[in-house]
Amino acid sequence: MEWYPQDKEELQALVDGLMKPSENEKPKKSDKEIHGLIVPHAGFEFSGRIAGKAFAMLRKHKKKKVVILGPSHSAKFFGVRVLDKKETPLGKIKIISNDYEEIDYEHSVDNELPFLQELGFEEFLPLVIGELDNQEAEIIAKKISEIDAIYIFSTDLSHFHAYKNALKQDKKTIRIIEKLDIMGFKDINACGQFPLLVLLHLCKIKGWKPELIEYKNSGDITQEKNSVVGYASFSF
């Protein structure tokens, strides 16, 4: 399944457009140095603007490397694997040297690559996260913390709840992320629960604090509110 256009010019125009502010909207700015983002990974027509608003904050980054962590949707395993992605329509993907077993597909990571290529990153470590316990999450966080890189955590929030229920559950997840509440990890309602556990440890190791950029759900976009998916972006 292709989640984004396979024509280079079309994809480039789409990604650039998603990173531009909407009409009557000011660009999101931060006076703090940005070390990474949490972004959604649904189809671009649903969550692309929420992701794009966050990615636009990296336009002035000076890093060459980026580490991406997203959940596994189709393969069940414990631990971490690296996405075997050779290229997108925007160019070849240079993978940072690593010792992880490869996995051949995962849209939660793949969907972030065009944004990052358009932002000028040169080396990528696209990690797909399976199930983790707290100890393994901390080990992964310590290992990636030694890389001089920008960190991208890919997750959508609650899935297929009625609009008001989704708001309630997503608000709780957002609060856990903002407070770096590792003890509250089990209450996170998100497909990227395990990547987020790594995030909590990484931010504690580095002394970083996630700040919400934007929250919406699919009901805000499609106006179909009986069954929605939550999307949020953060910087840290």
What CATH number has the domain bearing residue 82? Answer: 3.40.830.10
In degrees, rounded to 5, the angle at the alpha carbon of residue 201 between the alpha carbons of residues 35 and 120 is: 25
Domain count, the chain: 1
Distance separating alpha carbons of residues 210 and 54, to the nearest angstrom: 12
Would 28 be classed as within a structural domain? no
Domain of 190, in residue numbers: 45-230
Does residue 20 fall inside a structural domain? no
Residue 168 in any domain: the answer is yes
DSSP secondary structure code for residue 171 in this structure: H
Using the 8-state DSSP alphabet, how is residue 163 labeled? Answer: H
**Position 1 in a domain:** no
DSSP state of 88: E
Residue 4 lies in a domain: no
Q: Comparing C-alpha atoms, which of 82, 60, 174 is closest to residue 127?
A: 82
For the chain, what is the radius of gyration of the CA atoms?
16
The pTM assigned to this predicted structure is 0.94
Residue 36, in any domain of the structure = no
Q: Return the residue matching tokens 């009557």.
A: 24
Note down pLDDT in tens along the chain; length 236 residues.
789 999 999 999 999 999 998 766 666 666 688 999 999 998 899 999 999 999 999 998 989 999 999 999 989 999 999 999 999 999 999 999 999 999 999 999 999 999 999 999 999 999 999 999 999 999 999 999 999 999 999 999 999 999 999 999 999 999 999 999 999 999 999 999 999 999 999 999 999 999 999 999 999 999 989 999 999 999 99
How is residue 38 annotated by DSSP? E
